[in-house]
Structure formats: C-alpha cells, structure tokens
Structure 1
Amino acid sequence: MAEKHEKHSKYNSTRDSRNKGRKRSRDDSKYNLSESKTPPLPIRHGHSIEELMKRRESIKEELKDIAKNGSKHNENSKKCKIEAKSSGQSKHERFTDIFQNTKSIKQMSFKDSSPDNVQDYSQLDSEDEESIIEQRRQQRKQLLEQLNATETKTELSVKHSDDSGQVNKEEEKINSPVELKSSKNITDMFSEEDFAPKKDSDIVTQDNSEVSLQLNDNWDDSEGYYNIKVGDIVDNNRYTIKSLLGQGVYANVVKAQDNSRGNSEIAIKIIRNNDLMYKTGLKEIKFLKEVNDADSENKYHCVRLLTHFMHKGHLCLVFEAMHMDLRCVLKKYGKNHGLNAKALTNYSRQLLLALRLLKKIGIIHADIKPDNILVNENKNILKLCDFGSAMKINDNEPTPYLVSRFYRAPEIILGIPYKHSVDVWSTACTIYEMATGRILFTGSSNNRMLKCFMDLKGRIPSRIIRKGKFKDQHFNYNNNFLMHKTDEFTGREKVVEVTNITVCRDLGKELKKSYKNATMCDEKRITQLKDLLDKMLALDENQRLSATDCLKHPFIQESIQK
C-alpha cells in the first residue's frame, strides 16, 4: 500500500513538472509573439543595456541642443558616427540608431513646424544626401512664403557643410538692377528659379534711361508686342504715349501727342518685334508712301503716313489721328439695324474712291473690312488704313487664307488668280454690314463660306470651279459641292455630296428689315442698293463691277446730286 502511494506521488510530481513546463513554454511563445512586433534591441560587443540607455539619453540631449542651435548638429553627428565605427558597430546597428534618432526629429518637427521656427534638421547619415537637399529646399520654401505674406525684404543666409564637418555661414548678396515694387519678385537663388534679391541696402534705384539700356527685353511681352506704358516718351522725346487704341496681328496702335507740333494728336502703330513683322512693316511703309504720293491733296480717303522711326527694336509708323474705326461706329450707332441712309451712301462713296485710287496705282489692299476703316471725330470722313497685307497686282499668288474670312472672295478660296476685284467683293460685304448692322457671310471655314455664297447666289459655274487650284478640297469630279459636316453621333467630320443647290436667301428682304415704315423713297433706295450689291458680289470676278463702275451706279450718283 505504501509503495502504491509513493508511486502515485511520483506520478503527480512528474505531471505537475510537465504542466509547469508546458505553461512556461506557452507563456514564452506568447511573449515572443508580442515582442516580435518591434525589432530586438541590438546586442553590441562591449556595450550593456545600461550603456545603451545612457547613450540614448545623450542623443536626446544632443537633439534638444540642435533644436536650439542648428549649427552644432553636423559636428555632433560626425562624432556619433566616429564613435560607432571605433566601437565596431555593424551597418545594421547604425541604421537602428538613425531610425530612432529620425523618429525623435520628426516628433520635434511636428511640435515646431511653423515658418517662424524653421531649423536645420539634417539627417544623421551623410549617405542620404538627397533627403538633406530636399529638406533644405522645403525650409527655403517656407521662408519665402513667410516673406511673401509679410511683404518684407529680408536677408537669406545659406549654410554650407565642408568635408571636415564644420559649418560655414556665407551671405549671398545679389545687387538688383532696379527697385522692386513688391515682394512677389522674391525668388529662391538655390531653387529652379534664377535668384533672390537681398537686403534693402543692396537695391539700386535707377532712372528710366539707365534701365532701358539694361532691360530691353522687358519692353516686349511673350509674343513680341511692345508693352504699352502711358506717359512713355519715344523718338527722342518727340512723342508722348497717351492711351492704347487697339491691337492687331501685326502691331499695337496707340494714341500719342506730338510735342514738337503744339501737342497735336497722332496715332503710332508699333510693329511687333519679329523679323517677319518688321519686313511686313517696311512693305506697308513703301505702299503708304506710294499711295500718299498719288494722293498729294488728300482727297481719296487713304490714311496719311507722317513718318516712321525705330524704338526698342520695334518699327513705329506715325499716322494722322482719327477718332475710331468703322467697327466701333457700327456697334455704337448701327447695331442690328445699320447706319442711316445719309451716312451709308457717304461712307460707301468714300470707300469706293479709295479703291479707285488703289487700282490706278496697281495696289491690291487685300484686307478691307470695318476694322481697317477709320472715321474722324465728326463721323463725316472715312479713311482706309492697314496696308500690311497689300500687294502689287503682279506679285500675287494663290493662297486660300488671304483677306479676313468673312470678307474673302470665292476666287481666293478656290485658288484662282485674283485681281482688284477681291477688294470690290470685300467692299460689298462691308457696305451690306453698314446697311444692316449684320455680317453678310458667317461661314466657320472656307468650305462653309462657299456654302454661304451659294445660298445667296446659287451654284458656282463649272467653268469657274475648273480654274481653281484648290477645287478638289470642295468639289468632286462632277463639280458637285462636298460639304464638310460634323457627325451628330460620333462628333467626327464627314463629307456630304450636295447635288442640288437652292437659293435660300433674299438680299432685298434682308435690306428691308433695316428700314421700318419705309417710304417710297426708301423702297427705291433699297432696290438700288440691292442691285449694286448683286453686281459687286458676282461669283465670276470678270463680271464683277469695278470701283469706277460702282461710283457711276444710281445708288451713289443720286445721293451726290441731292
């Protein structure tokens, strides 16, 4: 019995020891699982846990010193790395230290991240050069944002670290050539931009004459137009710019006063600073001189060129002063209803006189439209201007984009050799616009313009189409019109053959809409105007009226007799 009891007690003790072992192994596995979430503390040769903790505290103290005085940081980081190398640290151990130090730096940067408290928190590892550069760039960006917000000019200091770990502070001073107007001009000298101005003592104020010698490029915008500044004096103090009148493809036009002639008003056309535009300006001067010489008494309504000069690389043409262009007159006095009968006939006659003069000396204007027609202050004299597209009758060659599209004759679109009749077509479109206040043809392309012509005048004769250099773009082998349309579903352009052309516009009815409660006299005038426009808008240029024939038409002659 005693033996059985002894065996039973041994069995229980053995089982308890096994259970304790199993419990201890389970506890150890739980401990290992929870501890595996963080990297184990590295075991260093010759360093105990207490020494590592002391070192960690010393690093914290160093980082606090860095926050107070960033200039000591690089020197301390060098010392840390030298100690690590002397103690036989592995690369993995140094990485662990840097990870812990970087984590503490981030915590500090969150607490003190305002631009006012920007410090030089460089990485401790010198191998991570890219992160150091990016961090310093962000610091400079914050400083610049602070400068822009307060609109003050401050001094920027840059810290450079040499190979020995010492920090050199150098002040980069750049003398600004002109006095800055606002702090928006401040840029970072080490970023992708050019440079940043420094202290107020480095800023030099210069007069306009000195600045102009150094900053000629600033006189132009990105497209080569002259930057207009009211009050500028040009051409050896002769002309003072008063205001901007307008801007076209070739130039700016400004109103100015002539200081040498009792402050009389003149207009200056400032050609874009571009080789092509310069050559175009020289050609315009040549044609204007020829026109003015042919009209020495100033009777035929072409604008007078007074002189020309160069200014800051721009060719400048000086003209007599006019009040506004015909486009502005139509918007102000004839929108949607046109000008009164007296102004219409007077302007039409003067415009035809200018065309007759141009034909006499063999010049095609090639850009007649309301924008290129000027009116004086009393609104009783009209003058043709802008000879930038003009050419001699023998110098022309087919081009589909000559003349502004709404005033472009069919022979230009088809590529047929053209003559003075293209100006007659453009003049007819302008007269219609003066009579109604609306544009006659509003096609969105050359192809759509041909469709507009046929809507008013009917099918273009095959004998005209066959002469065209560009006929294949708009007509097939049967001379049927190929209309370019946009598909409603796919949005792609498609070509539709149009075999039947029907006239869907009545010129007489459109002219009558501008005359409310028309009298018998008005009815007669409308009929005469319709006949004149029909003959000026003949699709065959050889059948189109000349400027001389137009001046003999009853619509012009009867108004003169009255």
Structure 2
Amino acid sequence: MADKKPKRNSSKYCYYDEQKAKRRKQKSRIRSQTPPLPHRSGTSTEELLLKRDSLKKQLQKFKHISRNGGNQHTEENRKRKYTDGKDGKQKRYSEDKSKNSHGQQSKSAPSKSNIEIASESEDEESIIEKRRIQRKQLLKKFNQSHDDNHSKNTESIIEKNNGGNDQKLTDANPTSAGETDDFTDMFSEKDDFKIKDLLKVDKNDFTNNSTLTDNWDDHEGYYKIRVGDVVNNRFTIKDTLGQGVFANVVRAQDNGQGNNYVAIKIIRNNELMYKTGLKEISILKEVNEADPENKYHCVQFLGHFMHKGHLCLVLESLHIDLRCVLKKYGKNHGLNMKAIISYSRQLLLALRLLKKVGIVHADIKPDNILVNERKNILKLCDFGSAAKIDENEPTPYLVSRYYRAPEIILGIPYKHGVDLWSSACTIYEMTTGKILFTGSSNNKMLKCFMDLKGKIPNKLIRKGKFKDQHFNYNYNFLLHKKDEFTGRDKLVEVTNINANRDLNNELRNCCKNMTDKEERKMTQLKDLLDKMLTLDSSQRYSVADCLKHPFVQDVLTK
C-alpha cells in the first residue's frame, strides 16, 4: 500500500515503529464507529433547477391568495374575539400559537403555513355556526315548554275563581311569560341584551312606608304635595294654598269631623325648620288661650302631627289672603273706604292681643292676612317669625323688606312698634293698591323713608348697631350706587335730605269721586299713618292710641 514505508535496518527506530502501528489501529477503530456519509441520489442539476422553478410558481399563487383573502380572515377573527366565550379564548390562544410557529417557519416554507391557516379558519367557522343553530333550537324548545306551563297555571287559577273561591290572580306564576324575553344568546353577534327589572316594587309599598322620605321631599326639603293624598289617616288634600320660607300650606278635608275644611301647614324637613315649627306651635297655643272666644282676629290652631318626617300644623281655613283681594278688587286704586276702616280695626285688634301676651309677630304683610269667603272678617296668620318680646335680637333682615321698620335696618332694639310700622304699610296698600316703600336693599329702604319723613335724627342713628353701613362719622347718609362705567359699587355721600313725597296727595289720587264724609275719613287716615310711620319707635303711636284714633272709632255713614 501507499501508506507503508520501507523497513529500516537499524534497531534504533524499532520502538517508534511499534508506537505508530498502535496509533494507526486506534484511528481505524474510531473511523469504523463514525456514521457513513449520506448517499447522494443520481439527480442531475437540470432536475434541481426545474424543481426550483415549480416552487417559485407555487409561492406566487399562494401570495396572491393570501392578499385577497387576508382581510376576510382578519374580520372573522375579530368577530370571534367578541362573540366566542371560553372556547373562543382557547381557540384564539391556539391560533396565535400556531401563527407564531408558522411565522417562524415562513422563511423556509411559507406555502404550507398559508394552507394550514385557511383550513383551520374554515373548520372553526363551520363549528361555530353549528353551535349557534343548536342553541337557537334549544331556546325555542325551552320557550314553548315555558309558555305551555304558564297557560296551564293561569287556566287552573281562572277555573278556581269561577268556582266561587275568593282568590286573587296576583302572583299566579312567579315567572311570567314575559320574562322569557330576558333570556338572550350571549354568543350572538347582535347587541340585543335587555336590562332586567331586578326589583319589582309595588306602589303600595311607597305609600305605606313612612321611612322613604326621599320620595316625599324635593331637594329643598319641601313636601311634594299630591292632591288626593290622605295624611294622618284623616285629612284629604284638596288644594295647594301657597309656599313660604318655612313651609308649604294646603287646604284639606277633615274626614273625622263633619268633612270640614282645614289648612295644614307642612314644615320643611330639616332640623332648623322643625325647631321653628315647634316654637310657632307654642306661640299659637298661647295666643289661642288668651282669646278663648275667638274675638281678636288671630287664626285658630287646631292641632299638629308628624307625616313623612314633616311637622304639620292644622289651622283654621279661610277663603283667601289679602294680597289676592287687593289684586282682584283694588289693583292700582285700592279698596273702598268702608272695607279699609273695617280691616284696619280688625288688624289693630289682633296687634292688641299680641301685645297682651308679649309677642311680636315680625312679619305683617298682606300675604299673612286671611279673609273669609264673605270678605268681612280678617285674621292674622303665619307666626313663623314671631317671638317673645324679651327674646328678640337685632338682625337687619327680620320682616319682609318692603314692610321693615327703620329700627330693624339700623340695628336698634325693637318692640311692638315694628308691627305697627308694618301695619301702616299694609293699610296704605289697602288704600292705594300700591306698595309704600319699594327699596331694593336696606340702604335704599332708608332712602325711601327719608324721602317721605325727612332725615333720620342723629340721636336715633347713634343707637344703631349697623349705622356704619349707611352713615359716615358726620351722620351723613351714604347712598350705595353702581358706577355707570365700571359697574362697581360706590358710596355717594348725601348731605341734604328733604322730604319730597306728599302722603296726602298720594292717598287722594288713588281714591277719586269721594263724598264729603269719605274726604274727612281720608284726612283722618293720613293723620293716623303719619303717626304710625314715625321714624323714632319711642315716639310712634301705640296700638291703644291707634284704636282710639277717630279714623278707627268713627263709623262711616251713608
């Protein structure tokens, strides 16, 4: 062989030859253990080139198919994501996994991955359609069986009722036929889900449950009045009379005592108003106890009760208030002289009763004076602002603004004179049909007072707690105005204030074509109002003085 070398004669190299022989044997053993080389087929290069061209053509075909059908597969996959349940999640997971695996193999064999994706999507669509058809069939069978059971139950109940048994048809079947519409297909593509009425509340539950106060009150705490409601199991609400700061008032029929009409004052549902209502009850009881024969023209208090968290005061019912009488019979010209004298006398009698028991009404105005149906009896009502004479505290917003006395605005301690001032403003309004003082604020009200009566004395100003809001250190009046250009508030010092209104002319202009006796009465009325409208309350006419005045004492004859 070629590997063999010629033998050397020298013994020097014998040892090395033996070692080389051993190495050759080991190499031959290792070569025998290695696997043989792959056997090449006898294919030529031409055949390989033809195979490559055919593969290129197939790749172009699959690319064209994937471009056209790719959008459809993506839309279908989106639908599956929203419509399928747990099965859909698993399928999407498997699809994503398969897509990733195909994506990795796309470089080597993209044609096979496209074929597999298309076949899998078609199989899934067919399976989903079959399942939908099965579910629809099951739902139809369930609905038919449910309707048959419901019809059988209702027919049996109707037969029982016709047989003479006094049984009600309510709750015949706990699951009515209409409830079958609530069963929906959670895998359907249409969003036709319906909201179920989980709580079906009977209307009677609201009327009988007094703890559900939110359903009876508005956002300000007023009771929501419903005509026809029965309160306290006795009074049927017939009409709404009005609403004030503290309460709303209704006319109701007393089903317990001869179906007489009463007025119910329903106090607002909060703690402050509740305490004010309790105070009004105590004052009304004291006033009624001082007038057992009902001669002093204060409204009668009949009782009280609680309803839906509201304190309710039961009062004597009259026909209409004086404000409505003036709008109907005396707008812009006032009432006739006979009515003015009668109403003034009755109002002053009510003030005499309040002075007797030591109470200040503190809110006298036409709205709080009631008149009966015959229009010959007047009564004072609404004692929500009333207080004992020793409990009053200076506050600039007591009494409605147009009827507010100057001592209240200045912060001077007040007594019964504030009611006389308000009564004078009311009598003027009965005579002329117009409001006497129409200031838009306390500051403007003081200006109106001085336009009629002249400047307020410095001695009176010094006593005022709120004098610095309206007068400077020289006791000159500070008129609050708005700047014409900037619109900001500014103070204008008024040094000279003179009376520029004539009360006598104002009274006579509204009462034309008067007789001589009415002319004399008008002169007496002007004198009475002047003395009732004295700026200093210590020099103002008292109730007793007013009742002794000729305008009240002398009877108007024909």
TM-score by length of 1: 0.70
Shift of 1:314: 0.3
Q: 1:530 aligns to what SS in structure 2?
A: helix
Aligned match of 1:375: 371
Q: 2:363 aligns to what SS in structure 1?
A: coil
Q: Does residue 56 in structure 1 map to residue 105 in structure 2?
A: no
Q: Does residue 456 in structure 1 map to residue 452 in structure 2?
A: yes
Q: Is the 8 A contact 1:157 1:172 kept in 2?
A: no
Q: Is the 8 A contact 1:158 1:172 kept in 2?
A: no
Paired with 2:101 and 2:478, the residues of 1 have a C-alpha distance of 88
Q: 1:71 to 1:211 in 2, by over 3 A?
A: farther
Aligned match of 2:323: 327
1:168-212 C-alpha deviation (Å, 9 max, x unpaired): x9987443343xxxxxxxxxxxxxxxxxxxxxxxxxx34256653
Q: 1:170 to 1:518 in 2, by over 3 A?
A: closer
Paired with 1:222 and 1:354, the residues of 2 have a C-alpha distance of 36
Q: Which residue identity is paired with 2:445?
A: M
Paired with 2:556 and 2:294, the residues of 1 have a C-alpha distance of 20
The match for 2:554 among 550, 554, 558 is 558
Count of residues in Structure 1 that have an aligned counterpart in Structure 2 = 423
Paired with 1:82 and 1:331, the residues of 2 have a C-alpha distance of 87
The share of aligned pairs that are identical, in percent, is 66
Q: Does residue 224 in structure 1 map to residue 221 in structure 2?
A: yes
Shift of 1:330: 0.5
Q: Which has the larger radius of gyration?
A: 2
Shift of 1:521: 1.8
- Within 5 Å, which residues of 2 pair with 1:139-288? 173-178=196-201, 205-207=202-204, 212-213=209-210, 215-235=212-232, 237-288=233-284
- Within 5 Å, which residues of 2 pair with 1:32-47? none
Paired with 1:233 and 1:321, the residues of 2 have a C-alpha distance of 17
Shift of 1:66: 3.6
Q: Is the 8 A contact 1:325 1:371 kept in 2?
A: yes
TM-score by length of 2: 0.71
Paired with 2:396 and 2:464, the residues of 1 have a C-alpha distance of 11
1:437-495 C-alpha deviation (Å, 9 max, x unpaired): 00000000000000000000000000000000000000000000000011112211111
- Within 5 Å, which residues of 2 pair with 1:290-439? 290-439=286-435
Q: Is the 8 A contact 1:266 1:319 kept in 2?
A: yes
Q: 1:346 aligns to what SS in structure 2?
A: helix
Q: 1:543 to 1:243 in 2, by over 3 A?
A: same
Aligned match of 2:512: 516
Q: 1:513 to 1:66 in 2, by over 3 A?
A: same
**Unpaired runs of at least 5, structure 2:** 1-60, 105-177
Q: 2:209 aligns to what SS in structure 1?
A: helix
**Unpaired runs of at least 5, structure 1:** 1-46, 90-151, 162-168, 179-204
1:370-422 C-alpha deviation (Å, 9 max, x unpaired): 00000011100000000000111111111000000000000000000000000
Q: Which residue identity is paired with 2:328?
A: K
Q: Does residue 71 in structure 1 map to residue 83 in structure 2?
A: yes
Aligned match of 1:32: none
Shift of 1:560: 7.3
Q: 1:153 to 1:515 in 2, by over 3 A?
A: farther
Aligned match of 1:488: 484
Aligned match of 1:472: 468
Shift of 1:234: 1.1
Paired with 2:472 and 2:228, the residues of 1 have a C-alpha distance of 59
Shift of 1:228: 0.6
1:90-133 C-alpha deviation (Å, 9 max, x unpaired): xxxxxxxxxxxxxxxxxxxxxxxxxxxxxxxxxxxxxxxxxxxx
Q: 2:486 aligns to what SS in structure 1?
A: coil
Q: 1:455 to 1:209 in 2, by over 3 A?
A: same
